[in-house]
A and B are shown apart, each in its own frame.
Chain A
């Protein structure tokens, strides 16, 4: 069961009205090179895959394989050297800002705003009246389990709590596509599993599409419908796997199941070669 580019395992939640039938993300023969000293250094070469609306797709690869570059290209912060990216049919870079959410590894909350005001910010930026923005934000604080912490500043919150604020801040404006760049990498294992479960619960409620970048294969499998494996630098698509695990999932329990272990073994066989090669053990 190697490379199979289309058809997600789960034809999940309905796409938002006008997007019906159009892939959430289309990455077509994408290549990105960076200007090095004298020569151009390729970061990604000929990468193609699609993500269906409502799908949860993980991207794994050895460190330095261009995972973050891929997300930057998708959200339009970088321009492709060759190939193209389309978000719900619109070329990346011309997508309205409100359609894409981005959760970073570092939760870069605004330190001078309370948790509540951070969550309300994206609504304010869209012209929602402050009272209504705060009301919606309060509901989201509740949803991510932070009721009672509305008036705390980010510096007064734990790493896990800040991550919840960052999630609420992203989901509050209902972006159709959420990009996540190793969002839970800095958390301890227990907090991390908790957050992964909450992410799945929120995703199930909101019907948004998630593209989740991680270097942790277990996390990638536990969360996703499909896993895209990238090769070592310069990143190419090595294979795309469908994860046949039932939903709703509990990320800690699912790891013990036979199906999970089998999937893990299969993908790890591919990934291991790349990780070893990336460290010069080819």
Chain B
């Protein structure tokens, strides 16, 4: 299949999959084959989600979840990148720090959340810290690997051309690592959102997770599903935004692929 045909056919095929699934679900509910108590119906879920948006009820929750997710993601990736860079730059630092990183990465950090609440209160702070712990280790390991993968000949060339340490960092290491870092952000975005939601689920005043938890306690499948729809939309928008950034920032790499 040539690229142009693929470009038109692929979204069509994906839409067909989603459409068929939703149509079968809706038809099943209307025919009485599926009990809407457990799963509700696509039409009802969409109407509910649309109402939330129109009345503005959901916007405060979306903003709260988004704020925690993006703050934690940004701080976690930056801290992770700095740590990974330091580990890659200095063998001494690597020997000291790497074992801790490995253990920390293996630890299921979600179980720390109750402790974080105990220390930091019930505001946004414990959730942001949870998101940071979820993102940090992946960012650190990826940056470490990215720095080590930088082409030695390119470094050599820049040195011979007269690059000093900071210039080498700016002209060679930062661009080389940036591509990996963007990929890291895309991968860890899912962790970040999960961290924010889990925190809200366990206890918070605002957030999409709060809405879902409340609906669940009322056995309201429709509202749970509508909450998930809102989350899916948020993920989709964030991912599309990141893809655009990636395309703009890594043009040199994409032209190589095409």
Contacts and interface: CB of A to CB of B under 8 A. Distances in A.
A and B co-occur in one complex: yes
Given A111-B252, A112-B252, A104 B161 contact: no
Contact of B162 (A98, A111, A153, A154): A98
A183 interface: no
Contact of A121 (B161, B164, B252, B253): B161
B16 interface: no
B229 interface: no
Contact of B161 (A125, A153, A154, A155): A125
A111 B254 CA distance: 11
A125 B153 CA distance: 18
Contacts of A173: 161-162
B152 to A, nearest CB: 9
Contact of A100 (B158, B160, B252, B256): B160
A122 B256 contact: no
Interface string B238-258: 000000000000111101100
Size band of the interface chain A makes with B = 20 to 34
Interface in B155-169: 156-164, 167
Nearest to A169: B161
Contacts of A97: 159-162
A237 B250 CA distance: 48
A155 B159 CA distance: 22
B176 A104 contact: no
A23 B81 CA distance: 48
A153 B167 contact: no
Nearest to B167: A125
B171 interface: yes
A33 B160 CA distance: 23
B162 A102 contact: no
A125 B160 contact: no
Contacts of A7: none
B47 interface: no
Contacts of A75: 160
Interface string A92-126: 00000110111010101111111000000110111
Given A121-B171, A122-B161, A108 B255 contact: no
A156 interface: yes
Contacts of B162: 97-98, 122, 125-126, 173
A34 to B, nearest CB: 18
Contact of A110 (B154, B159, B160, B250): B154
Contacts of A156: 255-256
A155 B160 contact: no
B151 interface: yes
A126 B167 CA distance: 10
Nearest to A152: B255
Contact of A112 (B157, B163, B176): B176
Interface in A158-214: 169, 173
Contact of A108 (B151, B164, B171, B176): B151
A26 B187 CA distance: 55
Nearest to B164: A125
A101 B252 contact: no
A102 B160 contact: yes
Interface in A119-145: 121-122, 124-126
A169 B161 CA distance: 8
Interface in B82-129: none
A78 B250 CA distance: 35
B19 interface: no
A108 B172 contact: no
A39 B161 CA distance: 35
A108 B251 contact: no
B167 A104 contact: no
A99 B157 CA distance: 14
Given A104-B153, A153-B255, A112 B175 contact: yes
Interface of A: 75, 97-98, 100-102, 104, 106, 108-114, 121-122, 124-126, 153-156, 169, 173
22 contacts: A100-B160, A106-B153, A108-B154, A108-B156, A108-B157, A109-B154, A110-B154, A110-B158, A110-B171, A110-B175, A112-B175, A112-B176, A112-B252, A113-B171, A113-B175, A121-B158, A121-B161, A124-B171, A125-B158, A125-B161, A155-B256, A156-B255
Given A104-B153, A108-B154, A113-B252, 16 more contacts: A104-B157, A108-B153, A109-B157, A110-B158, A110-B172, A110-B175, A111-B253, A111-B256, A113-B175, A125-B163, A125-B167, A126-B162, A154-B252, A156-B255, A173-B161, A173-B162
